[in-house]
Amino acid sequence: MKKSLTLLLTVILCVSCNPKKKTDKEALENASIKQEQPSPHVLIVNYNLKDMSIEQHNELGTNVAPNFTPEKIEGLIGKSFIGNTETGVYGGAYQFSSKETAEKYISSEFWLGIEAHPNLVNFTKEIYSVPEFSKNSNGIWANRKTSTNIEDAMGMHMLIVRYTLEKMTLDEHFELGVNVSPNFTPEKIEGFIGKSFIGNADTGIFGGVYHFKTKEAIDNYLSSEFWQGIENHPNLVNFTKEIYGVAPISSISNGIPTL
């Protein structure tokens, strides 16, 4: 195991420090693919509660969950209802079929009604693209196995990682992702279900949305040699890590991935 981790870290450093130079033809082909094929996009929503107990918030979630389905929201693939009672931050991680459908959703009358709720405050909304190589890490939600059984959500947690780039181009970062994505599998990371690599070139923020079976599995991952190698990468900086429980009502909104 230690040998494989060392090899991975060597690959990461080699890719970032000595990126393979692309030909003009390859660059044009990559640009064409990005323009012609809409990629899935992740929408991350966070908010706090005001004059509302956790029990009341849970009841609200139960009542509204049936409205978050692909049949009712254009382009929606799934939504995981998320929350952290210690930090008081709640919200959802959605995956849409395209950036356009994600943007259409947050400008819809349905969404504006949610954002205007008097007990849900301090909303943030962030949209990220999901690169095609996320298929290597079970991060394309449309390709996932999911469960409608709430028991399969028990203990499930989400890890959201964000970082920025330093002295690394977007092409170099993309190539790094291609090279490391096969290492994010349940066979190689204990308790891991899947990871969507995410990025927003406009804001310069990148990262990942992970589903794990338990919070303990996330804690073990973040203390592992593998993760430490990632966080110490010289070109990936300003890391943030957020851990949320995944509510069982996510089974209604196609937000409970299984293996």
pLDDT of residue 221 exceeding 70: yes
Band (pLDDT 50/70/90 cuts) for residue 7 is very low
d(CA 43, CA 141): 13
* CA dist., res. 217 & res. 56, Å (int): 29
Least confident of 9-23, 32-46, 50-64, 135-149: 9-23
pLDDT band of 11, cuts 50, 70, 90: very low
- 3-class SS letters over the chain: CHHHHHHHHHHHHHHHHCCCCCCHHHHHHHHHHHHHCCCCEEEEEEEEECCCCHHHHHHHHHHHHHHCCCCCCCCEEEEEEEEECCCCEEEEEEEECCHHHHHHHHCCHHHHHHHCCCCEEEEEEEEEECCHHHHHHCCCHHHCEECCCHHHHCCCEEEEEEEEECCCCHHHHHHHHHHHHHHCCCCCCCCEEEEEEEEECCCCEEEEEEEECCHHHHHHHHCCHHHHHHHCCCCEEEEEEEEEEECHHHHCCCCCEEC
Domain coordinates of the chain in residue numbers?
Answer: 2-7+39-258
Q: Does the structure show a pLDDT above 50 at 22?
A: no
Q: Distance between CA 198 and CA 186 in Å, rounded?
A: 19
Residue 155 pLDDT exceeds 90: yes
How far apart are alpha carbons 20 and 14 in whole angstroms?
Answer: 10
pTM confidence score: 0.87
Instruction: Calculate the average pLDDT of the chain.
Output: 89
Q: Say which CATH class 2-7+39-258 falls into.
A: alpha beta
Confidence of residue 38 (pLDDT cuts 50, 70, 90): confident
Residue 121 has pLDDT above 80, yes or no: yes
Q: What is the dihedral of CA 4, 143, 205, 162, to 10 degrees?
A: -60
pLDDT in tens, 72-116: 999 999 999 999 999 999 999 999 999 999 999 999 999 999 999
Q: What is the pLDDT of residue 226?
A: 96
- Check pLDDT > 80 for residue 62: yes
Q: What is the mean pLDDT of residues 140-159?
A: 96
| More confident call, 24 vs 84 | 84
Share of the chain above pLDDT 70, in %: 86
| Mean pLDDT, range 132-142, rounded to an integer | 97
Give pLDDT tens digits for 234-256. Answer: 999 999 999 999 999 999 999 99
pLDDT at site 127: 98
Q: What is the pLDDT of residues 42-56, one digit of tens each?
A: 999 999 999 999 999
